[in-house]
A and B are shown apart, each in its own frame.
Chain A
Amino acid sequence: MSELSEKVLLNTKRFLGPASQAFLERQAKNHMKGLAFNDLRQEHLSELFKWIHSSSRLIIGDKSDALLKSLEVVFQVKKSD
């Protein structure tokens, strides 16, 4: 797994627990044209975070906002429009 993917996984685990990897792999594959989560690059982050935010809302409710904010702060990604 790339360093960037591992970093995203580590931050997501704080909110979604041990199933985060499966969750992230699914987001990348289904919403980013079959992208493998392990091949994640800096330019994918903004789009991925948008999908993490909306999908995690179904699981953790309003805490998905905190998850997005945490990711945006760590990776210094501007909020997507």
Chain B
Amino acid sequence: MNKILNSLQTKLTISFIVLILVVSLMTYFFTFKYTKKGLKEITQTELVALSSVIASELSGIQAEEMASLNPGEESTDKFKILATNLKTLEKSHPDIKYVYTMKKTGEGIFMMVDPEYGNPDDPGDGIGVKYDDYNDEMLQGFERPSVDQEFATDKWGTTLSGYAPIKDTKGNIVGIVGVDMSSDLVIAKQNFIGKTIYIIILVSILLAASFIFLFSKTIIRDIRKLNNIANDISMGNMSVTMDVERKDEIGDLAESFGRMAASLKIMMMEDDSLDK
């Protein structure tokens, strides 16, 4: 066991594997980190674009109607039509989880239309329900399109949200439209990329390790041959022949060693034996 651990082949193979592992892990962490960041930025850009487009769809008469809704009017046709319109917009993009509208007063932020209202599986808030989990990005959304910098968690789950102001027919901001994208989707994409990089690195390490193992094996085999020949000569066995044929440094060593062995033979062998 000790002989195997101390052999040049084991040391070479382990050294190369450690080297590849270190380089691969560093590449993995840097690549994964920047890919995750890039993916989040792409999602954020997409959310800003989506919320802006949806806000422009809603601005005008629909925005005025939303702003005019009062608590308790959830069963009116006006609310149902507006909720259905939001639901249609929600379904227009497979990655969107929720689309809703909110308004801001001096007392806080309140729900205008949540199309999930009345959904027993995923109940949304009614008109005028106060929303306390807002962040700076949501507040910015009342002035210009904005997006969450980090995933935000509320009672509906963890999401990344984009916000854009919606305006009435006169161009006054009456609220915001919020577009939520589930964190699961973004995390799933990040994990897919992470796993792909991981598999590529793992396969590369296996291939490199196999290659290094085979390569070192041929080097060690020839070094062992040279060692055996040196041992034979040192023990007085002059009948050995050099059979290491390589075109690299080991080959050069074998050639030099062969010359040295030949000279030793010439000097040690009897004249008669050479002249026969």
Determine whether B122 belongs to the interface, using a CB cutoff of 8 Å to chain A.
no
| Given A60-B241, A61-B241, A63-B242: A26 in contact with B262 (beta carbons within 8 A) | no
Instruction: Report B252-276 CB contacts with A as 1/0, cut-off 8 Å.
Output: 0000001111111111010101110
Interface of A is mostly: helix
A16, B263: Cβ atoms closer than 8 Å: yes
- A23 smallest CB distance to B (angstroms): 5
Q: Specify which of A14, A26, A59, A62 is in contact with B265 (CB 8 Å cutoff).
A: A59
Interface of B is mostly: helix
CB-CB under 8 A from A23, the residues of chain B are: 266, 274
Report A14-60 residues with CB < 8 Å from chain B CB. 14-20, 22-23, 26, 30-31, 55-56, 58-60
| Given A63-B242, A63-B258: A58 in contact with B263 (beta carbons within 8 A) | no
CB-CB under 8 A from A31, the residues of chain B are: 275
A18, B263: Cβ atoms closer than 8 Å: yes
The total of chain A residues at the interface (CB under 8 A) is 21
Docked Cα-Cα span, A31 to B271, in Å, equals 12
Docked Cα-Cα span, A56 to B266, in Å, equals 9
CB-CB under 8 A from B263, the residues of chain A are: 16-20
- A63 smallest CB distance to B (angstroms): 7
| Given A19-B266, A22-B266: A55 in contact with B274 (beta carbons within 8 A) | yes
B275, A30: Cβ atoms closer than 8 Å: yes
| Given A19-B266, A22-B266: A55 in contact with B275 (beta carbons within 8 A) | yes
B interface, size bucket: 10 to 19
B274, A15: Cβ atoms closer than 8 Å: no
CB-CB under 8 A from A13, the residues of chain B are: 259
- B173 smallest CB distance to A (angstroms): 92
CB-CB under 8 A from B271, the residues of chain A are: 26, 30
B274, A60: Cβ atoms closer than 8 Å: no
Docked Cα-Cα span, A60 to B267, in Å, equals 14
Docked Cα-Cα span, A15 to B263, in Å, equals 9
A16, B266: Cβ atoms closer than 8 Å: yes
Q: Considering the complex, give the chain B residue whose CB is closest to the CB of A56.
A: B262
A22, B275: Cβ atoms closer than 8 Å: no
Q: Considering the complex, give the chain B residue whose CB is closest to the CB of A31.
A: B275
B275, A26: Cβ atoms closer than 8 Å: yes
- A35 smallest CB distance to B (angstroms): 14
Chain A residues at the B interface, C-beta cutoff of 8 Å: 13-20, 22-23, 26, 30-31, 55-56, 58-63
24 contacts between A and B (CB under 8 A): A15-B258, A17-B259, A17-B262, A17-B263, A19-B263, A19-B267, A20-B263, A20-B266, A23-B266, A23-B274, A26-B275, A30-B271, A56-B262, A58-B273, A58-B274, A59-B262, A59-B265, A59-B266, A59-B274, A60-B258, A60-B262, A61-B242, A62-B241, A63-B242
